[in-house]
């Protein structure tokens, strides 16, 4: 199975055409190129801060997630099953590999391109979370989490990024062109800063409303009508480091 690729510059420069493989079928037989093996994890122990709580506190009435039981997700993935997430696997650009109950995404080049893995789950309205442990990093090196991934080449989505320096942004990816910025880089005290830290990334897509959560706290929101449904994507985005590794674990989704 070919890699999942999204070609988009980190600046406003025109993006190159993308070539993306659809997410895996729950019953389809994986191809040989989808095989993944564990690779070394980044030096250092990630600082706790992104693990899901087994007994979340009750949601406030004004919380946009109100009505969801955060203690009982509709879908979970502990990354222990092979081929649930596919692509990419190219040491010259990016390698996303499953092993030891995690998905390790490596961006080998700070070249303005991102490459995400997609899964076999899709949804319209949903609230989804994933724990992202970033390794050695600096500046705008970031962990990336996409929802409503769609399109013939799976290069359209809403993509959230948490940077090494504790800021976030939200973009809309568009086929064969540069992405639109919905929320520019914004600092948040709720995001753990620095190398070797873990953050719980959350994104609620309900109708046209998009809400960003960091470690269970609402930190931003936007409104966009372009995409109504799709799958999910995970990736590392190197902005200054020659190699960036982000390790993902404990994916969960709720369907309002």
Phi, psi (rounded to 5 degrees) for 193: -95, 160
Report pLDDT for 52: 52
Report pLDDT for 45: 40
More confident residue, 182 or 27: 182
Report pLDDT for 160: 99
Of 226, 250, 242, 211, nearest to 62 by C-alpha is: 211
C-alpha to C-alpha distance for 74 and 252, rounded to whole angstroms: 8
Report pLDDT for 57: 79
Of 130, 110, 162, nearest to 233 by C-alpha is: 130
Report pLDDT for 106: 98
Count of residues making up the chain = 256
What are the extents of the domains in the chain? 74-254
Angle at 88 between CA 105 and CA 13, to 5 degrees: 90
Report pLDDT for 167: 99
When pLDDT is cut at 50, 70 and 90, the band that residue 58 belongs to is: confident
71's tokens: 């203690």
* Per-residue pLDDT reduced to its tens digit, 166-219: 999 999 999 999 999 999 999 999 999 999 999 999 999 999 999 999 999 999
**Strands of 85-86's sheet in order across:** 85-86, 117-123, 230-237, 142-150, 156-163, 167-173, 180-187
More confident residue, 12 or 134: 134
Q: What is the pLDDT averaged over residues 156-161?
A: 98
Is-contact 188 200, C-beta < 8 A? no
Residue 119 has pLDDT above 80, yes or no: yes
* Per-residue pLDDT reduced to its tens digit, 39-49: 333 334 444 44
Residue 53 has pLDDT above 70, yes or no: no
Q: How far lies 108's CA from each of 91, 169, 200, in Å?
A: 7, 21, 23
Q: What is the pLDDT averaged over residues 236-251?
A: 97
Q: To which residue do tokens 């510059």 refer? A: 9
Report pLDDT for 21: 37
The count of C-alpha atoms lying within 13 angstroms of the C-alpha of 102, restricted to the half-sphere facing its C-beta, is 18
More confident residue, 14 or 103: 103
Greatest alpha-carbon pair distance for the chain in Å reads 49
Report pLDDT for 54: 57
The rounded mean pLDDT for the chain is 84
Q: Domain 74-254 is classified in which CATH homologous superfamily? A: Exo-inulinase; domain 1 (2.60.120.560)
When pLDDT is cut at 50, 70 and 90, the band that residue 71 belongs to is: very high
């Amino acid at each position: 199975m070919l890699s999942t690729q999204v070609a988009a510059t980190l600046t406003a420069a025109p993006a190159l055409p993308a070539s993306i493989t659809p997410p895996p079928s729950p019953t389809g037989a994986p191809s040989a190129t989808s095989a993944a093996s564990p690779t070394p994890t980044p030096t250092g122990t990630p600082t706790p801060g992104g693990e899901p709580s087994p007994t979340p506190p009750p949601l406030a009435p004004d919380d946009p997630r109100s009505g969801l039981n955060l203690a009982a997700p509709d879908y979970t993935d502990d990354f222990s099953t092979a081929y649930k997430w596919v692509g990419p696997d190219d040491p010259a650009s990016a390698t996303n590999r499953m092993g030891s109950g995690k998905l390790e995404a490596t961006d080998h080049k700070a070249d303005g391109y991102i490459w995400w893995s997609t899964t076999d789950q899709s949804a319209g309205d949903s609230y989804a979370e994933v724990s992202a442990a970033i390794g050695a990093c600096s500046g705008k090196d970031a962990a990336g989490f996409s929802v409503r991934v769609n399109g013939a080449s799976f290069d359209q989505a809403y993509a959230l990024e948490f940077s090494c320096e504790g800021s976030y942004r939200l973009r809309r990816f568009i086929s064969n062109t540069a992405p639109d910025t919905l929320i520019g880089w914004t600092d948040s005290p709720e995001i753990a800063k620095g190398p070797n830290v873990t953050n719980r990334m959350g994104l609620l897509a309900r109708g046209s409303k998009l809400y960003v959560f960091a470690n269970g706290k609402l930190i931003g929101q936007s409104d966009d009508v372009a995409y109504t449904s799709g799958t999910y994507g995970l990736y590392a985005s190197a902005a200054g480091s020659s190699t960036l590794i982000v390790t993902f674990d404990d994916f969960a989704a709720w369907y309002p």
